[in-house]
Amino acid sequence: MRCSRLLLQRSNALALYRRSVNTWSAVGAAFNVQHQRLEPLQKNVGLFGVPELSGPAGFQMAQHQALREAEFLVHKACTHPPGAVTVETFDQLSDSLCRVADLADFIKVAHPDAAFREAAERTCVEIGTLVEILNTNVDLCQSLKNLLGNEAVLATLDSDTRRVAELFMFDFEISGIHLDESKRSKAVALNVKLLDLYHEFLSGSQLPNAIDKQVLPEHIRHCFSIDGNRVQIGGLHADSPNELVREAAYKIFLYPNTSLLLCLDELLAGRHELATLVGYESFAHRALKGTMAKTPGKINRATSRDFKMMKEMKKKTHTTNPEVMPWDHAYLSSAIRTEMFNIDPSIYSPYFSLGACMEGLNRLFMQLVGVYFQAEQPKMGELWSEDVRKLAVVHETEGLLGYIYCDFFRRPDKPHQDCHFTIRGGRLREDGVYQLPVVVLMLSLPPPSGRTPSLLTPSMVENLFHEMGHAMHSMLGRTLYQHVTEIIFYPLPENLVSRLCESKRVCSAADTQLQIFYAALDQVYHGKPQYRSTTDILREVQEKFYGLPYVHDTAWQLRFSHLVGYGAKYYSYLMSRAVASMVWRQCFLQDPFSRVMGEHYHREMLAHGGGKEPVLMVQGMLQKTPTIEDFVDALVLDLNANVKSPVL
């Protein structure tokens, strides 16, 4: 369970926490002013301070070094007597490869220089291939079996070490270690092929679609990017007040791409073949046991109420099509909130400078868990873009916890996605020194200009809190092994805060239903083969789980990039929301800034990383073992609290 979802709930209370502020701290100022150029005569320290990465060729050097280290550690693991050192060696092996692969995984999508991106991509493929080979290495697996099969040795291990050993063994099992040599080789080949398909699908899912500009009505062409006689449409334009713009963007951006459809077919087929090869009924069975795809009727009824409100709102726009269509969902929801509570983003943005939000997060973390940010001056070559900010995360008594690189601002060719990247996991090194975690947060915020700071909309603030929750989970986790690892918005009037909080209750059921649709589609795609097109499956699942009709000649699944990273696990968004709801209501509702509960949350949930079973962490936090019914009830309770029936 990560803290990002809980931070969103606490952010509403945060805006009511008042204290006079006359000047910005160094943290607030760092994000409210334009970047300062580094002195060109400084020594180039390489990306993230890795000396080899002062140029693209450095990836090959870092890769070769990681491969040599891996070879040594594999030999050590296979020849050393079973004991705690076995697990430590496995973790060293994982860390040596992940330190290079994780960094490359970020650079291949975020670096503005194509040479860096291409070099990083090649490194990802090479390291990924080696990982798949190691996951079917019989001698390496046997060294772990010797440990797990020796009860006397196991009794000497602490619970974290035993858990990590079991996780490594699980990796072997799902990779087909039990198969004969020919089938193991086939499993490796399938995994390597899937790595290529993942890259192809993710790249294709981000590309715009182009259409002859003559096809579009002249009066809406200016809403899109025009390249000669072609119009480039790279998004849904879901917030546009012009219905025709929304409809055109939806139909063109989601128009089926034949080669990408074939790629997705091959990807899903490859995952199923791999799963059955290693002994699972489907890829979904391999990825998880149990799911929240079975949704209660209570949510469906609340969703119907939301769609009725949207239909009434659409009538007021003098539309030619009175039915609510998929391209209307986001816009009509926003229009209802604006009409009911007058929460036009332009009213709030002057209060939500990025510096103010970061200062607010800084104070929140200090209040709850005794942690604060320090703005640091990066060195030459450390950053991939000059507008990136570097934060040190410091505990009031424990000292430096790690670093967060904040890649927050829009720039040409930067992916338009909000996400969190682990660059280096935290772990206790062999010399007794803790390896500090390093992460990157990537957002798409407007940059500051001159004396004007970056001003955020309420939805941007939510995204910032969500992604910072991921980062702080990495910072606050203190595991032995990396394998598991004032007024804030002053002087914002209280009535504006109240209206913003109330507005979040509008159409929340429809938004939840959309997430259920995504989770259900993910499950069906990764279940038993359907022997029909992914678009036909999409149409059926959408009609069953969403409530708005499928639009002919569209293929939304080709923009569902989460299919790669969250294959058969997209439901975890709903699960996290349910857990956050339970934790919020039981532990923080009465006092959102309780240091006692903040420390309890840190101790029971955040500190373990992946070194403890998630259900045990929730059990420790709530002092009860939640059932699947508890998770569903928590979602429904949120909807019942959020849904009101206003008269439009």
Catalytic residues: 467
Residue 296 in contact with residue 632, Cβ under 8 Å?
Answer: yes
Residue 357 in contact with residue 349, Cβ under 8 Å?
Answer: no
Q: Distance between CA 364 and CA 10 in Å, rounded?
A: 9
Residue 277 in contact with residue 183, Cβ under 8 Å?
Answer: yes
β-strands 434-435, 427-428 pairing: antiparallel
Distance, CA of 613 to chain centre: 20
Q: What phi, psi does 428 have (nearest 5°)?
A: -85, 115
Among 571, 572, 579, 581, CA closest to 516:
571
Classify 318 as helix, strand or coil.
Answer: coil
Write out the H or E segment, with its range, that includes residue 182. helix 181-206
Q: What phi, psi does 406 have (nearest 5°)?
A: -105, 100
What ranges in 33-113 are assigned the alpha helix state H? 58-79, 84-110
Q: Distance between CA 563 and CA 555 in Å, rounded?
A: 14
Neighbours of 105 (CB within 10 A): 20
Residue 521 in contact with residue 361, Cβ under 8 Å?
Answer: no
Among 35, 22, 593, 524, CA closest to 283:
524
The DSSP secondary structure of 353-391, one letter per residue, reads BHHHHHHHHHHHHHHHHSEEEEEE-PPTTS-SSTT-EEE
